[in-house]
Structure 1
Amino acid sequence: MIRRGIVECRGCGKYKPLSEYSPIGASGAPRPYCKPCNAERVRLGHYSVTKDFVDLLLRFQQGKCAICGVSNTAQRAMDIDHDHACCPGRRSCGKCVRGLVCSSCNFHGLGWYEALPAELRTLGLLNAYLSDPPARRLRRELT
Structure 2
Amino acid sequence: MKADFAPNERQRWMQVLARAGDALADYESELGGVPYQCIRKPETGMAMVRGRTGGTGQAFNLGEMTVTRCVVQLQDGRAGYSYIAGRNKRHAELAALADALLLGDEKEQLMQAVIEPLARSQQQARQTRQAEVATSKVDFFTLIRGENE
What is the TM-score with the length of structure 2 in the denominator?
A: 0.25
Q: Which of 1 and 2 has higher RCO (CA within 8 Å, sep 6+)?
A: 2
Please identify the structure whose Cα radius of gyration is greater.
2
